[in-house]
Structure 1
């Protein structure tokens, strides 16, 4: 337990996983098929988490591959703009392409189209993760999409081994995206293996249910992981809030209701807000609520990384909001 929270309190994270380019139609509410103008922003779950951590005063370095073209260079430039260390973001040539997301800034009839064909980030290999000095960081973070294909899958498990050898706790966002995987059976097996090696696991009710073989079994799966292999497990339930299992406790927290513009980016911003709040010395329940506030801020604004809160935005939101729902 102390190792997990001591690592987080360094507020210096190595993050493994993809950076991508997002497109979303303007103005908000526009359907993609009716779009005339698109806005571009940084996306990709791991890149979003890294950017969100930096916007909230932490440090983050991303480990991934990007396409050796203008789109890959865009991602690197945006990461740098947010303050993310890009030393280990490596271009890859050939036919590999950066992931691309086209999604709408609307909740009703929301459409999101993800392009992951021949994805450059799946080409991350053991040489990429072996080049990292894990002793320079306090904790490792990754999201489930890195495990969906080789050589990225084997590379990330190797990074887990290297991180553990350096004494770093592993923080795992389940982030199950069916379109990235060859089959649900492979995904359930691999994600369960990753969860069993992680010190902190964050996922929603459907993701834990998926690993357990049924959504009705998800809560029991989260509780079991907290009692066996993980020091902390965060079980998210959407508008119903979250249950955090830690040290034999079950901490229930609500959400900060907002008028959401879109459903995307909430999980990544939750993680950034939650971890940096622990690092800033807040108690665990307050840190979870601050993560929830970050999620609410992100869904109320267009984009993913651009919509994530910085410290001033988060503090103003908390000061102005009437408070979280009862858990």
Structure 2
């Protein structure tokens, strides 16, 4: 996504601000049937200009959004998601009197995409002229206006004011015709997918913005409504009479044509860029992706042919996937797609492209991560038995105290995190939802080998119950010299888990302990990592045993970078090592760039838990002791990290 830039006044300068619809899409997860028969829905941000804003940000533009959202859970979700995507939200107003817009969508077949809009008196349609901040427009180079926001007097006036301000300061105005007849009251509410109903009144309203436009983009049906004629060339000429703007006509699988001057008799005599031969899985959102790709080129003054190539490629990528905004390509993904010609027709079946899409669009960067791991279950069972004191309920309370200790040390710093389980740690996990820290959660049955998973027989079923910000952690006891049957059984389980994580949109942390089941040298863990990648498994994180020798870390880092240079990195586990031993391990690992920090448990909490469970220390004493132990390791990590950066 874009890196923010600032002007002389210190405010973020924007390449583009998109104006108009912002809502939540509930996308049916079942494909090939009626909307009536879909039983579960994925939640994404939506609305044409919002989708384009996300897509443009992922392509490297500095983008903002000008809209209204409700003062409700969905409105907060939109705002938070935009911020995670790098979209400036200074122009996003919260409307306390209206709800956030909602759309329910589905994929029935290659030609049918049922769509129901819930937009009666919704927040974004209450946008008014008073919401248009001249200072926001002044720090922006271009404005994107969509046709839906010309359909009612209030939003029409707001759109015209924003466009006039942009033109007055010498900026560029982009018009996405974005014609949905149902949003103009011209189709039955159940027919949200309808793309064309002729209307002289709509044509007249849309044409009023044309004198202000520098770029106009639409499908052939949208060109027809804007031009007021049913023949594409004739409609384009009618539009040309009202604007000197660059005209771009989207032609689906046939690509697009761009017309900078007079409209030719034959559209093939314009600037033509052919489309890409991919399967049409879901057309919804492809036009918004097209716009994002075109603007990435046009706002950077690329040749017109290049702008069209970016646009067609972005549309092809999104048309092959589920969803709109989350399907938008990153800049790295777009470059990879354009560099090759051998992609499968069913584009989403490319493991390489899908991984680059996933890895380059993850939210939040973690240049470092220090985690208190209290996801232990069997160890706490053993501790209760050993002490002859304490109850499972007390263990649950202790884990809540551990979260308090993280918060005391971190004080809101998102470089900290916590590993918590759903058995003893459920209440702590719930409390962590309101804090800004990284959250990991174990899925494995403690001590199982071959690996088994907690919860439902189908691990994907279990993960669908987890909040999306929970990172799936799996500890596997894996040695490269295990017998073939053991390796095969473990591999099958890890493949199931990786597929489930991607299907449910959860990040995946794979913890490897090799030392308990065979001799270990400087190549052992690297050999395991090499094998895991050869299976087609790409963990977002690795959690590895501490080692105090550089050859081990050289081999590990080389193995990861050979397969996945986009990996988030490595965190060290503790294996109950004494503090001084662990501090030495941190110092040894810190010089290696992929090592991001640690996720340590018993070294930090074991003695404190024993004292608390036997009544030697109280709640405040436990929090203080846990915080101090975490602070010592965190300070040591940062000292070692600073030494690495200085070197």
TM over 0.5, shorter chain? yes
How far apart in 1 are the matches of 2:305 and 2:237? 17
Partner of 1:306, secondary structure, is helix
Q: Count residues with an aligned counterpart.
A: 312
Match of 1:256 among 276, 295, 315: 276
Match of 1:98 among 97, 100, 105: 100
Comparing 304-313 with 142-151, greater Cα deviation is found at: 142-151
Q: Find the counterpart in structure 2 of residue 291 from structure 1.
A: 311
Q: Find the counterpart in structure 2 of residue 33 from structure 1.
A: 36
Matched, 1:111 2:126: no
Match of 1:212 among 227, 233, 240: 227
After TM superposition, list the pairs within 5 Å mapping 1:141-290 onto structure 2.
Answer: 141-182=144-185, 184-216=199-231, 218-226=232-240, 229-248=243-262, 250-280=270-300, 282-290=302-310
Q: Find the counterpart in structure 2 of residue 6 from structure 1.
A: none
Larger gyration radius, structure 1 or structure 2: 2
Residues 229 and 212 of structure 1: CA distance in aligned 2, closer, same or farther (over 3 Å): closer
After TM superposition, list the pairs within 5 Å mapping 1:3-152 onto structure 2.
Answer: 12-29=15-32, 31-94=34-97, 96-106=98-108, 107-152=110-155
Larger relative strand fraction: 1
CA contact (8 A) 1:100 1:114 kept: yes
The normalised TM-score by structure 2 is 0.46
Unaligned runs of 5+ in 2: 1-12, 187-198, 263-268, 344-647
Residues 27 and 318 of structure 1: CA distance in aligned 2, closer, same or farther (over 3 Å): farther
Partner of 2:270, secondary structure, is strand
Partner of 1:25, secondary structure, is strand
Question: What RMSD over aligned residues (CA atoms) do the two structures have, in Å?
Answer: 2.1
Partner of 1:85, secondary structure, is coil
Q: Find the counterpart in structure 1 of residue 327 from structure 2.
A: 307
Alpha-carbon distance, 1:105 to partner: 3.3
Alpha-carbon distance, 1:11 to partner: 7.0
CA contact (8 A) 2:53 2:292 kept: yes
Residues 142 and 160 of structure 1: CA distance in aligned 2, closer, same or farther (over 3 Å): same
How far apart in 1 are the matches of 2:159 and 2:274? 33
Comparing 71-80 with 183-192, greater Cα deviation is found at: 183-192
CA contact (8 A) 1:53 1:273 kept: yes
Partner of 1:86, secondary structure, is coil
How far apart in 2 are the matches of 1:198 and 1:147? 14
Partner of 2:208, secondary structure, is helix
How far apart in 2 are the matches of 1:239 and 1:189? 30
The normalised TM-score by structure 1 is 0.89
How far apart in 1 are the matches of 2:241 and 2:111? 39
